[in-house]
Every structure is written in structure tokens, then in C-alpha cells.
């Protein structure tokens, strides 16, 4: 199906201004949430306003700023959580998800385990559509990107003229560069990137202008 067969709404949440995404079918009846950060009340109000059935929470990775709202959304919507297997235990461990390292920003965060794990190359069936899971480590070992048509939800891997930090536990610059250059840069140039922080960009723009990972 064409990329235009989904609707995407962005909610910038929490002290670190993390982008959460509400991905909706065109009929407005089914949806899923990507990376619900701290203070997801605006997102939950919108879900209630639309009256959509939320089928899942999908995490691009399990750093605290991307998972802080998991409990609230999960309770409100009664939906399962998906995360890469390498970070499955981060949901339950404040040390691994980084919330213990930022006491001035967040209290310790721990949630119930995820119901499902993501794997590289799998097709995730949600809202009647297929989303390809691409394992893109570097920012964290279990970072994934989700691809549907011309839309890429990239988490903290690739930003507009920047990249995700690699100085947190499990981060590695060599892996990040490999993920971007050998996986993301092989996508069509007009693929739109929805990052974990900051404005949208495209693969072609980053190949031409990103100073950290030139094409």
C-alpha cells in the first residue's frame, strides 16, 4: 500500500522534548503509539477524542525519555508493548533505561515487561498495515527503526543534520554510522524520517548535508 494510507500525529513530551507518534489508519478507527514519553496526557486526550482503538505501543528503544509514559498509555488503552529483545529488561530496570542517571530530570522509571519483542527484518502487522522493523543499533543496542512506504520512524538514530548520542551505556559510534550508512541511507532519498527529537527530515537531505555521517 502507498505511504499515504496512514495518518501521523506528533506529540512532543517531557523535559527532553521526546517525539511520540500516534499512527492512525485513514478511517480513524485504529491506531498505535510510538515512544510515549513523560506526560502523555495530550496524547491520551487526543486518543479519547478520536475514539480510536489503540492496538499497541511500539518502542524504538527503551531509554527513559521514550518509555516514561508507557504505563499511562498501557493502562488507558489496554494495549501490549513491543520492544527489541536486547532491551526487553530495560523497561523494568531504572539503571538500564537511564532514569537513575538523570535524577534532576526524572524519578526512577520501571514498568511491567513488554508483551512482545521486535526482531530485525520482521513485518509488524498493525492497523491493517505492515511496518518493517530495521535493527539500527549505535545509540543503544536495541534501537530499531520502523518503515512503512515512505515513512521511517527512526528513534534517536538519525536527526536533521545530526545523529543520536553514543556516550550512554551500550552506545557505540561505529555501530551508529554502520546503521545509518548501510541501512538507512539505502532507502529512497524521499523517505521521510520521523525522529525521536527535533524536526522531520528526509534520507536524501541527510545524505547531502549530515556532517556526522556523509553518504
203 assigned to some structural domain: yes
Burial of 152 (0-12, 13-18, 19+ CB in 10 A): buried
Return the axis-axis angle of helices 70-77 and 41-50, rounded to nearest 10°. 20
pLDDT in tens, 120-133: 999 999 999 999 99
pLDDT in tens, 23-69: 999 999 999 999 999 999 999 999 999 999 999 999 999 999 999 99
Domain range holding 100? Answer: 3-209
| pLDDT above 80 (res 2) | no
Measured distance CA(54)–CA(75) in Å, rounded: 11
8 assigned to some structural domain: yes
Domain count, the chain: 1
Cα-Cα end-to-end distance for the chain: 29
Backbone angles phi, psi at 129, to 5 degrees: -130, 165
134 assigned to some structural domain: yes
pLDDT in tens, 83-116: 999 999 999 999 999 999 889 999 999 999 999 9
215 assigned to some structural domain: no
Q: Which CATH number is 199's domain given?
A: 3.60.15.10
pLDDT in tens, 109-122: 999 999 999 999 99
Amino acid at each position: 500500500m502507498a505511504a499515504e494510507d496512514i495518518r501521523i500525529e506528533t506529540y512532543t513530551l517531557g523535559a527532553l522534548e521526546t517525539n511520540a507518534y500516534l499512527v492512525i489508519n485513514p478511517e480513524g478507527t485504529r491506531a498505535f503509539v510510538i515512544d510515549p514519553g513523560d506526560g502523555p496526557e495530550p496524547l491520551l486526550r487526543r486518543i479519547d477524542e478520536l475514539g480510536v482503538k489503540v492496538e499497541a505501543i511500539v518502542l524504538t528503544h527503551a531509554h527513559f525519555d521514550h518509555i516514561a509514559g508507557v504505563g499511562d498509555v498501557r493502562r488507558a488503552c489496554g494495549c501490549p508493548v513491543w520492544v527489541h529483545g536486547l532491551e526487553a529488561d530495560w523497561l523494568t530496570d531504572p539503571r538500564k533505561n537511564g532514569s537513575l542517571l538523570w535524577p534532576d530530570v526524572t524519578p526512577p522509571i520501571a514498568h511491567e515487561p513488554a508483551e512482545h519483542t521486535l526482531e530485525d527484518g520482521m513485518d509488524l502487522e498493525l492497523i491493517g498495515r505492515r511496518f518493517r522493523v530495521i535493527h539500527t543499533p549505535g545509540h543503544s543496542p536495541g534501537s530499531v527503526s520502523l518503515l512503512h512506504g515512505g515513512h521511517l520512524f527512526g528513534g534517536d538514530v538519525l536527526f536533521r543534520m545530526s545523529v543520536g548520542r553514543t556516550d550512554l551505556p551500550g552506545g557505540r559510534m561505529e555501530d551508529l554510522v554502520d546503521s545509518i550508512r548501510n541501512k538507512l541511507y539505502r532507502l529512497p532519498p524521499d523517505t521521510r524520517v520521523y525522529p525521536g527529537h527535533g524536526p522531520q527530515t528526509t534520507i536524501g537531505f541527510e545524505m547531502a548535508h549530515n556532517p556526522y555521517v556523509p553518504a
